[in-house]
A and B are shown apart, each in its own frame.
Chain A
Amino acid sequence: MPPLRASGPLHLYVHIPFCIHKCHYCDFNSHEREKPDWQAYQHGLLAELKYWAVTVPFANQHINSIFFGGGTPSLAPPSLIASVIRASGDLFHLDDDAEITLEANPGTVDAGNFEGYRQAGVNRLSIGVQSLNDTELGWLERIHNRRQAIAAYHAGRETGFDNINLDLMYGLPDQPLQAWFDSLQTAISLGPEHLSCYQLTVEPHTRLATSHASRPYPLPDDDLALSFFQQTRQQLQQAGYQAYEISNFSRPGRACRHNDGYWQYHDYIGIGAGAAGKCNTPDGGIIRYSNIRTPERYMATASAEACAINTRESLDSQKAAAEAGWLALRRTAGIERSLFRQRFHRDAWQYFSNQLDPWHKQGMLNVDDRGIRLTENGLPLADAIAASVL
């Protein structure tokens, strides 16, 4: 097999699909199970890791980050987390400074577990706060309240985590701007290294979508959504957070390396139910796979066959370039021309100028020697602009 093109660092995503309660807006692969079979699940994860460790192109690579996402990873016993991290080091090369994140639900926090995760090697927490308003949390069907959210943050700090993210959501039905700013300012006052702020999206196949279709919720119109979006960016900037992606903000140097890897078109391994992975192919294209989604079917298959892939898609070099362009435009750094040239052997602006020039002329894009970036005007229309390169 011909040598693969450099694809930058390799990342590992580990999906923990279990939840105590699945919130109505959630479209992640999460499942309510009273007593998950953690042993079987761990077995499946390790079997998959072993499989990928001997499979081209992942074999012998350096892993630069691990991300335990969910579902609710903070339900998992620390021993499971520890065994996955240990196996990653044993089977691959785990960088000394690897970023290892675990998502935690404030309703499941147990100080003993936090200590266990830290000892297992987790060095970054991502706490699903969503809101710091109890009425909003109730509507969202979260299993925690404002007090528990704040307590979870402090518990993280007390356990010694010096890299914490808080997830927040805005644009809830009838939510006044001020109510959102109250949550946002409270979160800022806690001093986390990182904040992710998402507009609530009605995703298909969720309970929210069903109820919204029969009786629409008063969700913000375009103008209000734009105010949420722009003022959120302003407030975070004033508080010293840098926007490095559409919905992600961090203290300098504290961007999430793992997530940023997706937008930089790095390769990643995904293990666990419904997890997705991606690798470059020798022809300049990519292959992406995703695993069986139902936890029980996943466990049975992963344990028996060491591989639990459900679907695969491959993109040729041209399609991959378009996809890479779309994803990179989500980043504040945009499409970096030198990296794009390295990966696709073409100049990004020459390649996309037909589609992007109209946007450039309208002041939606900045183009210079370094790269192609959305301007403040272009950011809110990122999808329309991205769709033109796809």
Chain B
Amino acid sequence: MSKHTANQAYTRNFSIIAHIDHGKSTLADRLIEETGALSEREMKKQVLDSMDLEQERGITIKAQTATLDYPASDGNNYIFNLIDTPGHVDFSYEVSRSLQACEGALLIVDATQGVEAQTLANVYLALENDLEIIPVINKIDLPSADIEEARRQIEEVIGLDASDAIAVSAKTGEGIQDVLEAIAARIPAPENRNDQQLRALVVDSWFDPYVGAVALVRVFDGVLKKGDRIRLMSLATASSYEVQDVGVFMPQPVSCPELASGSVGFMIAGIKQLADLKVGDTVTLERNPTSEALPGYREPKPMVFSGMYPVDSGDYADLRDSLEKLNLNDPAFTFEPENSSALGLGFRCGFLGMLHMEIVQERLEREYDLDLITTAPSVIYRMHLTDGRNFETSNPSEFPDPATIERIEEPTVTANIFTPEEFVGTMMKLCQERRGTQQNMTFIGQGRVMLTYMLPLAEMVIDFYDKLKSLSRGYASMDYELAEFQESDVVKLDVLVHAESVDALSLIVHRSIAESRGRELVKKLRELIPRQQFDVPLQAAIGGRILARETVKAVRKNVTAKCYGGDITRKRKLLEKQKAGKKRMKSIGSVEVPQEAFLAVLKLGEGN
């Protein structure tokens, strides 16, 4: 196996970057298959997306890798390390670490769709990392493929030379050999720096129940050997670990004695907690450490927050255990206990973004079988008080007394939206409604436009992407990156149910939209809260000022007309079902409120 560790001249480290659905996983599968790493029979379709959720959603959440042997036409045997990258903006930090581990990247553009928002975001990340980029135009087997147009967009929109872009069909296999040859010929070899002090980048990490935390590492300097004692440079403590195993993915894990500079593989070092093995961290030797970590490391910082509560308050301990377990696999989300007067004991959870939030929720419900109430997502606000105190919070219940506020700052993002020309007006309107400021507008040909907007993150977390998709009939695409915090005139919008303020329904919103948001919210709640035996007033208020009011009318008649001998069983079961439905609701005072009501703010604008 030493051939995998030694000869830098014949090693190629690369990633594939693409917009979602442009065929990244299919191309990866095809490369693995062509190089014979797996026989066709062993190939489960789209090998690299192994988590259930990833396969269902067609996205890559965790970076994975495969080491491939390739005998090129120049007569040399190459080792290709294909490092998969997550395909979603929530994980852009992980993407940039994956790209940092490479010398080159394949840029896939769908010949039927052209350049999309994520393509651009990922290319910029790749260029920041000085990667050699090989443009690949995919799906040329489709009748609507327009290779020349894709080529033109790569040149004009992205600004890359597309004269030697490779036209392929990952589906039929056409052009795959050309891709493999280009990887060997055009992507630079890593340097041989075996004589330096060890520096290995943690590209990805995950938790294995048998061996603990496992890292995917790229060795830049020195050699990482089995038996070495290593340190992780971001950890303040001097704790060191013994390397129990290193190896490569073929794509199944195969042990080898060492990983030399330039190689990519896994490291198992008896690290108990995944939180200690952070993506972007630098591995060095305990005895002969480097003084300078690899650049680019940062702590994962949650940007989107929401409260999670068990429907049945008896499940609180289960929820805590499940969060702890899930956190072992996904240290990027945070959670701390929170107490809501309406919902009882629960947790305030932080996520990298909206998708990340959905994934965590779904895993909790699916893998841990919990019924959850999730409150509307919120972002972090920086509160500056008149007495000079500052603090950050995402929680409406911690919103300070308005009299004590000097100013509040909220996070913003820079968003690139790619849209057909016919939807430009609609997209601009959407962005304006969401308090966006236009930064740029570029016509990119083929009737498509790229809009660049500065938007408050708070406006993005509430159904922005869904709106963008539905208003453009699915044609617009979007990517965003976090920008700075900006001062903002935000207020706390309270919701009162039956004259009782419900903390779990309150929101922090910009003053300019507070009234319309409040009005829509109580209107939506009126649809979601079932009628009770009495009228239930719903109000939206800022401070003591009522902005909007709706009433859930009392049930006045609820009686089965006919009930005879043959009907009794069925009618009894219907009533029992009604009663069971009530049990799943939360009682707020004397009002039964269903789970969906707590996410009503996400449903504004639906079905009206």
Contacts and interface: CB of A to CB of B under 8 A. Distances in A.
Contacts of A200: 561
A382 interface: yes
Nearest to A196: B562
A278 B565 contact: yes
A390 B572 contact: yes
Interface in B559-576: 559-566, 568-569, 572, 575-576
A382 B560 contact: yes
Contact of A246 (B553, B556, B559, B566): B559
B579 interface: yes
Contacts of A326: 572, 575
Contact of B559 (A327, A380, A390): A380
Chain A contact-residue range equals: 35 or more
A382 B559 contact: yes
Most buried by A among B553, B555, B572, B579: B572
Given A222-B557, A225-B557, A384-B555, A276 B575 contact: no
B568 A323 contact: yes
Interface in B122-166: none
B557 A380 contact: yes
Contact of A288 (B556, B568, B579): B568
A290 to B, nearest CB: 7
Contacts of A323: 568, 572
B579 A313 contact: no
Contacts of A262: 563-565, 568
Interface in B517-554: 533, 553
Given A380-B557, A381-B533, A382-B560, A387 B578 contact: yes
Contact of B579 (A29, A274, A390): A390
Contacts of A28: 566
B291 interface: no
Contacts of A226: 556-557
Contact of A201 (B533, B555, B562, B572): B562
Interface string A234-268: 00000000000011000000000001001100001
B575 A270 contact: no
B76 interface: no
B575 A222 contact: no
B566 A198 contact: no
Contacts of A277: 565
Contact of B566 (A29, A379, A387): A29
Contacts of B557: 222, 225-226, 229, 380-381
B559 A383 contact: yes
B558 interface: yes
B556 A276 contact: no
A290 B569 CA distance: 10
A201 B575 CA distance: 15
A381 B563 contact: no
Nearest to A362: B533
A175 interface: no
B568 A386 contact: no
Nearest to A228: B557
A199 interface: yes
A386 B568 CA distance: 13
Given A381-B533, A387-B578, A390-B576, A199 B561 contact: yes
A222 B560 CA distance: 13
A13 interface: yes
A387 B579 contact: yes
A384 B558 contact: yes
A379 B578 contact: no
Contacts of B561: 198-201, 246-247
Contacts of B568: 262, 276, 278, 288, 323, 327
A371 B261 CA distance: 89
B559 A387 contact: no
Nearest to B559: A382
A145 to B, nearest CB: 24
Contact of B558 (A288, A290, A362, A380): A380
A7 B513 CA distance: 66
Interface string B235-272: 00000000000000000000000000000000000000
Contacts of A186: none
Given A384-B533, A387-B578, A275 B566 contact: yes
A352 B558 CA distance: 20
A31 interface: no
Contacts of A387: 575-576, 578-579
A388 interface: yes
Contacts of A225: 556-557
A330 interface: yes
Contacts of B555: 222, 381, 384
Contacts of A96: none
A223 interface: yes
Name, among A198, A274, A386, the residue most crowded by chain B CB atoms within 10 Å (CB to CB).
A386
A276 B556 CA distance: 32
A198 B562 CA distance: 7
A225 B565 CA distance: 25
A276 B571 CA distance: 14
A276 B559 contact: no
Nearest to A277: B565
Q: Considering residues B556, B565, B579, which has the most beta carbons from chain A within 10 angstroms of its beta carbon?
A: B565
Contacts of A388: 579
Contacts of A29: 566
Contacts of B559: 229, 246, 379-383
Q: Which of A15, A313, A380, A390: most chain B Cβ within 10 A? A: A390
Contacts of A382: 558-560
B565 A222 contact: no
A84 to B, nearest CB: 17
Contacts of A275: 566
Nearest to B575: A387
A201 B568 CA distance: 16
Contacts of A288: 568-569
Contacts of B533: 362, 381, 384
A26 B388 CA distance: 73
B558 A330 contact: no
Nearest to B578: A387
Interface in A354-383: 362, 379-383
A381 B558 contact: yes
A218 B480 CA distance: 48
Interface in B394-423: none
A247 B558 CA distance: 13
A226 B565 CA distance: 26
A383 B569 contact: no
Interface of B: 533, 553, 555-566, 568-569, 572, 575-576, 578-579
Given A198-B562, A259-B564, A383-B558, 6 more contacts: A222-B555, A222-B556, A222-B557, A225-B556, A381-B559, A388-B579
Interface of A: 11, 13, 15, 28-29, 69, 198-201, 222-223, 225-226, 229, 246-247, 259, 262-263, 268, 270, 274-278, 288, 290, 313, 323, 326-327, 330, 362, 379-384, 386-388, 390
The 9 closest A-B pairs by CB, nearest first: A382-B559, A198-B561, A222-B556, A276-B566, A387-B575, A380-B557, A383-B558, A226-B557, A199-B561
5 contacts: A11-B565, A28-B566, A199-B561, A380-B557, A383-B560
